[in-house]
Amino acid sequence: MTIAVGLLLGAGLVLAVSPMLWPRTAATTARRLAPLAGLRERLRQAGLGQVSAAVFVAVSVCCGVAVAALVAVVAPVVAIAAVSGVVAVLTPFAVLASRASSRRRARRAAWPDLVDHLVSALRAGQPLAESVGALATVGSSETREPFLLFEREVRASGAVSPALDALKNRLADPVGDRLVETLRMARDVGGTELPTVLRNLAASLRAELAVRAEAEARQSWVVGAARLGVCAPWAVLLLLSSRPEAASAYNSPLGLLVLGIGLVVTLVAYRLMVALGRLPEERRWFA
């Protein structure tokens, strides 16, 4: 008892002086907020920038708890209910990633035409800010709103550089970063080579689109096979667990061990297949 009291006292003293011995730094805060920062970036890419990352996580957890309770009522197997809850928690993140990926593909396909429109406006003698703002009337719906807000900000304040920063954050796209930084450099430094640079950018984007489209068409079957291989065994297991004798067998220690090993193998195999079939995404160097 004396040892336990001494340990508790020592732990209390360490916690009391820890803010002075190990003060919170900006790097520590950034590391702690890194997961939420990545989620906020993904929400912006999916067009849900107004949704809070904490709210999204809370809703996902609530969905997991509700699904686990429902599955426990239908199939009274602890392991299956737990797995169903985990899947329900991860499903909103998967849907978010899919939505962000589809929007990235749509923007990637729209960028060459947008750059061509920008080159045409610059060659027609329009100012840089008006040329960028005119992109709000062309292209896909995923790109019109950021350029429309850019045009409104420039008209309201007259400051182009802050509006370019806001445009880059709203686009949340590597190509958008390159385009915005190119426009910023041309505006700050000047020069007559901007249309040529933009034309070269559009040509490289079209070549990249052609190569990526061919590769995605060839690797789509890999992703489909991975999803089918993950869902099929657990769907069969859910049907079998509706029988009382199967539910009692799966609730035994050996049954839980078998299900746990199967879950680990399923997750590892799925992640491996997806990693092998995934195309590399361009990183945002100017974010």
pLDDT tens digit sequence for 115-143: 888 888 888 888 888 888 888 887 667 77
Please tell me the pTM assigned to this model: 0.61
Mean pLDDT of 198-208: 85
Q: Are 97 and 111 in contact (CB under 8 A)?
A: no
Structure token digits, residue 103: 């929007």
- Lowest-confidence region among 68-72, 106-110, 160-164, 279-283: 279-283
What are the sequence ranges of the domains in the chain? 107-209
Average pLDDT, the chain: 78
pLDDT at 31 over 60: no
Whether the CA torsion 171, 177, 178, 179 is positive or negative: it is: positive
Instruction: Name the percent of the chain lying above pLDDT 70.
Output: 84
139: left (phi over 0), alpha (psi -120 to 50) or beta: left
pLDDT at 254 over 80: yes
Q: What is the pLDDT of residue 21?
A: 58
Q: What is the pLDDT of residue 8?
A: 62
> pLDDT tier at 26 (50, 70, 90 boundaries)?
very low
Mean pLDDT of 238-250: 78
Half-sphere exposure of 236 (CA within 13 A, CB side): 6
Higher-confidence residue of 139 and 243: namely 243
> pLDDT tier at 2 (50, 70, 90 boundaries)?
low
Instruction: Name the percent of the chain lying above pLDDT 90.
Output: 1
Position 243, amino acid: R
- Lowest-confidence region among 5-9, 30-34, 279-283: 30-34
Structure token digits, residue 274: 């997806």
Write the pLDDT tens digit of every residue in 138-158: 766 777 888 888 888 888 887
